[in-house]
Chains A and B, each alone.
Chain A
Amino acid sequence: MWNTVFPYLLSGISVGGQYALIAIGYTMVYGILRLINFAHGDVFMVAGIVMVYVVSSGVPLWLSILLVLLITSLIGFLIERVAYKPLRTAPRMSVMISAIGVSYTLQNLVLYITGGLNQIYPTIPWISGSVTIGSATTKMVTLVTPVLTIILVVALVQLINHTKIGMAMRAVSKDFETSQLMGIKINSVISVTFVIGSFLAAVGSILYFTNYTTVIQTSGAMPGLKAFVAAVFGGIGSIPGAVIGAFIIGIMENIIKGLDVILFKSGVIKAPLGLATFSDAFTFALLIVILVFKPTGLFGEKVTDKV
């Protein structure tokens, strides 16, 4: 039984870690700006495309990875400055539509550059290698992902709880206007938020595309959407919530893909039922259930309307 479940659990934890890194970007931006940054999944995809082009232009791999992290953070920063900052005083809906616009712009830009052809992601030594643990053979990156995710999240929580900029972030997320009156430079706080979110998305993209090696302009849509569901599931605005939500979604999704086999092997069913088809449907059904029964998610803060 354990041998049957283990390989699915393993790929679930790995995918969960990658969703978590994207989900943090959603949740942080929401926490501070009350904006759902729909372009975030595309920033993740662009990080993958940048990697493909940087490596193919002959830059050494270690430098490419640093460049990708840098360029993606810069893209996140620029998106905020160009598309969101001018709309600071506009109704929240306008910013959200602007985010959708950025999402389509990025996708079409990549469609234009790549010509719509899928790009093969460069192989990163060691983490691309195969490793066998018990009954499962997988890539090294599957093991690296959850560890790296947890390290980054712990570092991020330290940053938020124990540094000056972290304190500013917490203040801004509590009350946007008052913190501005208290002399917090709101624009730099928001920029830092976007840079951190994009940086983590870039790390996530390196891990994700090392596992699933094809990048096309729509590659960011599904992981982005699922990370968003994870952020809502965990309680949007809460970082530990987003991470736990992402792991739960990643694991559940993979267990459902293998549910047929698990039931078949344990003798519950005589013939496969084709349940694997419903793995995505499950994710989105979960979103609906959460929104209906616990709109604030697992760790979400209570919304109190100020009068």
Chain B
Amino acid sequence: MKKLMSILLVLAMVLPVFALAEDLPVVKLGVYEPASGDSGAGGKQESLGIQYANVETPTVVIGDQEYKVELVYADNGSSTDKAPSAAQQLVASGVSAVLGSYGSGVSIAGSQYFADAGIPAIGLTCTNPQVTSGNSHYFRICFLDPFQGTVLANYAYKTLGARTAYCLAELGNDYDVGLVNYFKQAFVELGGMVIDDTFPTGNSDFNSYLNNAAMYGADVFFSPVSIAYSTQIVQQAAAQNVTFPILGGDTLDSNVVANAAKGTNVKVIITTFYQEGANPAFDEGFKAWLNSDSEALTNNGGNDIISAVSVMGYDGYYTALEALKAAGTTDSKAVMAALPAVTLIGVSGEIAFDATGDAIRTSAFVKTVDTATGDWQFVTEQTVE
């Protein structure tokens, strides 16, 4: 039933594009993002960046021929058991490259289908090392979890002066568990103590976990979990009047989380890819587009605060266009061969790939929620050599 529904939804999204197709030949880019499930909100925001870039630059010149870029959407449902069918949909529709996904677990789950079809994939915000390691078709334009975990551990230990950290991850979620492990390594190396717990998927009662952290005398609560869980953790923490700050990774960088913290006295600190204000020209254009499209505005959580994942979606789209230009053909295998040499200056910074296909990045933005206004505030740009 759900699968049928999602196929119908995908068809509903694709059909109008056919109807409007002009005379230009079409090159297809797959958008492999969750539009439902726990990461649905994040996936939609990441897709928004791609959509905006597509509105801004709807065509690309490949060789001497101008092509119209068509986005093909597949909802991986934030779950690793639905991811394969979404990936197969994209393969079947003949895309030249795939963008996504939000969430490392679903990226890994879909990876093999892209590899078998010879289609390159560009990870936008999936930060787990396993996404790109040991294969030649998955690339990524964001930083990695070992880096992010180290940045957060350093920030917690040195800047916040924390000595005991309580870590909470969703059981079986590659992203959460991976990031917690890297954080743990770095934090223990610095001389701190780490206690970690996991909760089952679908859990919504975090009171006992917050209690655990308080009982252990934790100085920070590190939970790099999906947005759906993060909002609950923040609100339940507010109800319990916790004293420790809540630390998170890039998944928490959403206005949905900021809204949850608004009007409470919970301190939320995260690392992310972009902070609003770093590129005023982009900010202005993106906000104007969001405000002109009511559906886009709804998908952004009802306001025009720019999420870092949207910026990564935008940069990913242009990375794909550069690769298409460099390949000189829409053939996915040629695009894959051209990708390692692609470089560009994106909104989120310089993009270039290393030997495994990962972006070469050395800095992350640290942000916190201003609980009076419910906006994200820039704290510092943390660099790790």
Co-complex (A, B): yes
Q: Is the CB of A272 within 8 A of B228?
A: no
- Chain B residues numbered 177-236 whose CB sits less than 8 Å from any CB in chain A: 195-200, 202-209, 211-212, 215-216, 227-228, 231-232, 235-236
Cβ contacts under 8 Å, B197 to chain A:
260, 272, 274, 276-277
- Chain A residues numbered 130-183 whose CB sits less than 8 Å from any CB in chain B: 130, 132, 136-139
Q: Is the CB of A11 within 8 A of B40?
A: no
Q: Is the CB of B1 within 8 A of A257?
A: no
Nearest chain A CB to B227 CB, angstrom units: 7
Tell me whether A295 is interfacial, beta carbon within 8 Å.
Answer: no
Q: Is the CB of A118 within 8 A of B196?
A: no
Nearest chain B CB to A67 CB, angstrom units: 23
Report how far A265 CA is from B368 CA in the complex, Å. Answer: 33
* Given A130-B241, A261-B211, A274-B196, A115 and B204 contact (CB-CB distance below 8 Å): no
Tell me whether B277 is interfacial, beta carbon within 8 Å.
Answer: no
Interface string of B1-45 (1 = CB under 8 A from A): 110010000000000000000000000000000111110110010
Report how far A261 CA is from B216 CA in the complex, Å. Answer: 7
Cβ contacts under 8 Å, A272 to chain B:
195, 197, 216
Tell me whether B298 is interfacial, beta carbon within 8 Å.
Answer: yes
Tell me whether A71 is interfacial, beta carbon within 8 Å.
Answer: no
- Chain A residues numbered 101-150 whose CB sits less than 8 Å from any CB in chain B: 104, 108, 111-112, 115-118, 120, 128, 130, 132, 136-139
* Given A104-B1, A137-B239, A257 and B212 contact (CB-CB distance below 8 Å): yes
- Considering the complex, give the chain A residue whose CB is closest to the CB of B213: A261
Tell me whether B107 is interfacial, beta carbon within 8 Å.
Answer: no
- Chain A residues numbered 266-299 whose CB sits less than 8 Å from any CB in chain B: 272, 274, 276-277, 279-280
Q: Is the CB of B208 within 8 A of A280?
A: no
Q: Is the CB of A117 within 8 A of B208?
A: no
Nearest chain A CB to B269 CB, angstrom units: 21
* Given A104-B1, A138-B240, A260 and B44 contact (CB-CB distance below 8 Å): no
- Considering the complex, give the chain B residue whose CB is closest to the CB of A129: B239
* Given A108-B5, A261-B215, A274-B198, A8 and B232 contact (CB-CB distance below 8 Å): no
- Considering the complex, give the chain B residue whose CB is closest to the CB of A208: B204
Q: How many residues of A contact B (CB 8 A)?
A: 44
Tell me whether B278 is interfacial, beta carbon within 8 Å.
Answer: no
Q: Is the CB of B207 within 8 A of A104?
A: no
Q: Is the CB of B235 within 8 A of A276?
A: no
Report how far A272 CA is from B5 CA in the complex, Å. Answer: 44
Q: Which of A115, A120, A211, A257 contacts B299 (CB 8 A)?
A: A115
Q: Is the CB of B240 within 8 A of A115?
A: no
Tell me whether B259 is interfacial, beta carbon within 8 Å.
Answer: yes
Tell me whether A98 is interfacial, beta carbon within 8 Å.
Answer: no
Nearest chain B CB to A264 CB, angstrom units: 8
Tell me whether A23 is interfacial, beta carbon within 8 Å.
Answer: no
- Considering the complex, give the chain B residue whose CB is closest to the CB of A271: B195
- Considering the complex, give the chain B residue whose CB is closest to the CB of A105: B1
- Chain B residues numbered 224-257 whose CB sits less than 8 Å from any CB in chain A: 227-228, 231-232, 235-236, 238-241, 256
Cβ contacts under 8 Å, B1 to chain A:
104, 108
Q: Is the CB of B35 within 8 A of A115?
A: yes
Report how far A11 CA is from B236 CA in the complex, Å. Answer: 12
Report how far A108 CA is from B7 CA in the complex, Å. Answer: 13
Q: Which of A116, A130, A213 contacts B36 (CB 8 A)?
A: A116
Tell me whether B341 is interfacial, beta carbon within 8 Å.
Answer: no
Report how far A257 CA is from B211 CA in the complex, Å. Answer: 10
Tell me whether B126 is interfacial, beta carbon within 8 Å.
Answer: no
Cβ contacts under 8 Å, A222 to chain B:
202-204
Q: Which of B2, B40, B205, B209 contacts A117 (CB 8 A)?
A: B40
- Considering the complex, give the chain A residue whose CB is closest to the CB of B4: A108
Report how far A154 CA is from B335 CA in the complex, Å. Answer: 70
Q: Is the CB of B198 within 8 A of A118?
A: no
Q: Is the CB of A11 within 8 A of B2?
A: no
Cβ contacts under 8 Å, B256 to chain A:
118, 120
Tell me whether B345 is interfacial, beta carbon within 8 Å.
Answer: no
Tell me whether A2 is interfacial, beta carbon within 8 Å.
Answer: no
Report how far A112 CA is from B240 CA in the complex, Å. Answer: 34
Report how far A154 CA is from B79 CA in the complex, Å. Answer: 42
- Considering the complex, give the chain A residue whose CB is closest to the CB of B230: A214
Interchain Cβ contacts under 8 Å between A and B, 18 examples: A8-B208, A108-B1, A115-B35, A115-B298, A116-B75, A117-B44, A118-B231, A137-B239, A138-B207, A216-B38, A257-B209, A258-B212, A260-B197, A261-B212, A272-B197, A272-B216, A276-B209, A277-B197
Please list the 10 inter-chain residue pairs (A to B) with the smallest Cβ-Cβ separation, ordered nearest first. A116-B36, A257-B208, A212-B204, A116-B40, A261-B215, A11-B207, A280-B200, A118-B228, A139-B239, A222-B202
Interfacial residues, chain B to chain A (CB-CB below 8 A):
1-2, 5, 34-38, 40-41, 44, 75, 171, 195-200, 202-209, 211-212, 215-216, 227-228, 231-232, 235-236, 238-241, 256, 259-260, 298-299, 301
Interfacial residues, chain A to chain B (CB-CB below 8 A):
4, 7-8, 11, 15, 104, 108, 111-112, 115-118, 120, 128, 130, 132, 136-139, 211-214, 216-219, 221-222, 254, 257-258, 260-261, 264-265, 272, 274, 276-277, 279-280
**Other 6 A-B pairs with CB < 8 A, given A112-B5, A117-B301, A221-B202:** A116-B34, A118-B40, A118-B231, A137-B239, A213-B232, A258-B215
